[in-house]
Structure 1
Amino acid sequence: MSTSLGAQSLFSKKLEGRVYSKEGDVAATTVQNISTNRATITDIDGFFQIVANLSDTLIISAVQFKEQEIVVTREILQQRMLHVQMEDALTELDEVVVTPYNLTGDITKDINIVKTDAVVTSSTLGLPNAYVLPITKAERELFEATSGGGLIPLNPILNGISGRTKMLKKRIARNNLYSRTERVKAFYPDSLFQSDLKIPEEKIDDLLYFCEVDPEFQTIVDTHDRLKIWEYIRRKSIAYRENNELD
């Protein structure tokens, strides 16, 4: 009797399994034994049970997953639980070429075909102060600190006595200097500082600070001549390397 049951367990059993996926949405996945025309669905955690015989074919499917086909082997029947990882189903569409307005793909020709609305901005409308940059937070705070109403405006007096006005002016000057130096740095790739000036990448900002404390640097930056600015940085880099023993 025991031999008969043992043999039966090798060829047929109520198979327990679990379906899982990266997304975790595995509830109500269909598990079908197409060899016996039996089917079940998984619970909210993906667990299922289904009677399976050796060499039966299981089809596991759901709308959101790619269909899985599993042939029941002796090893599967001997497992305590069958684990099945599902893959997300990707909806792929056939390639479609859309050519509205009879476009040719040649921009020099298509630009005369496509009609676009005029770009509306403050500058195209001719509004006053269209090119004025918005004031920074520090500039706004300075304005508030140095203005006030009434016969005797108290804000300028109190902020002057406390030193807040002087502090805000220094902050604006520092911010302007930093912004200007950042613009200069953006002119040239870091690799140029490293290859041409022999400045390590982690020292580039320090070199530019070494330059910006020199009043001559600001004058040269105001010329917007990138070659002249680079030549100045190159000369300063020689002194910087000597001071920091980089040679």
Structure 2
Amino acid sequence: MSIRKTVCFLVLVGFQYGFGQNELREIKGEIRVEAGFEGSVNIVNTTTAETVIVNVGESFSLLAKQADRFIFSAINLESVVLHVTKEQWSGAQLMMQMKPKNNQLKEVIINEYPMISAKGLGLVPENQKSYTAAERKLATAGDFKPIMLLGLLGGSMPLDPLINKINGRTKRLKKQIVVEGKENNLIEV
């Protein structure tokens, strides 16, 4: 009977000793970044899968056990891994200094390839006429012709050409086409 009591006592003391080391304590600290980073930092306790988001310069507090592992990460900062030591677990203030992450891009070289164009690739037929900006505006505005009045009988007369004829826009666009043609002739000479 005494051996049974002794074994039972040792088992109970062993459980007490084993689980007594798993005490959670609050760890307090602050995150600092050297280059004036404004943003937030994610703090992940990988042992308990607990996540906290803290703004840079603000203090934080986390519950942790001794030997827990924390990962401090942000988009533009280098990640820092911290294993909780006995000194940090006993209540010392934690100061995390994080560094900005440098994202080195590869060199981009832009070459001009005159052979690559819409016509060269066959997207647009080679003999297709290209209109100038003034010609495209005139086509959009529409040139009113008196024969268009017959469209009233069928109920399908476009109003844009009539309105543009009344307010003089069509006449201005035709003058602009003439001026544009003269400018192109000067450039060729």
- With the length of structure 1 as denominator, give the TM-score of the two structures: 0.34
- With the length of structure 2 as denominator, give the TM-score of the two structures: 0.43
Q: Tell me which of the two structures has the higher relative contact order, counting C-alpha pairs closer than 8 angstroms and 6 or more residues apart.
A: 2
Structure showing greater Rg: 2
Greater strand share, 1 or 2?
2
